Amino acid sequence: MNHNGVLTKGEELYEHNYEEYETFREEGTFRMKLDFRSWWNKGANYGLICYFSDPADDTVKKKGFCFRHFADGEEKYTPSDKKIAFEKEQDGTLWDVTIKKTKKGKCTFAAAEKVS
């Protein structure tokens, strides 16, 4: 785990039962709790996976992918709207997560707004 609480090792993912989380498969805005986050990379491509659960039904577990962006000389990992840098957010916080379909028909983590 790094200083922001992002999981960095495979063993940590297994301890958090990451395999119980599935990708969002429908469009909409969902109230979700951020359970944990982990780094992802494949070759030179990097990202951050956010793992969420439904606060009203903890059997509903979803994951969303944050892309790496560069802005103002800083590396950020955000949903596609580029507004929230999830690598700096706290686990256990509540979010309204917006999922939209891409031109190819796949669901993507489009935006998020923290619930106070």
**Could you report the per-residue pLDDT of 66-84, keeping only the tens digit for each?**
999 987 788 999 999 999 9
Backbone angles phi, psi at 102, to 5 degrees: -80, 175
Torsion of CA 62, 65, 71, 76, to 10 degrees: 70
Q: Is residue 1 part of a domain?
A: no
* Per-residue model confidence (pLDDT) at position 13: 86
pLDDT at 10: 83
Q: Is residue 59 one of the residues assigned to a domain?
A: yes
Asked if the structure places residue 4 within a domain, the reply is: no
pLDDT at residue 95, rounded to an integer: 98
Q: How many domains does the chain have?
A: 1
87-99 average pLDDT score: 97
Round to whole Å and give the CA distance between 40 and 8. 9
Q: Which domain holds residue 65?
A: 10-114
96, part of any domain:
yes
- Which pLDDT band holds residue 31 (cuts at 50, 70, 90)? very high
pLDDT at residue 91, as a whole number: 96
Token representation of residue 29? 């805005």
The answer to whether residue 42 is domain-embedded is yes
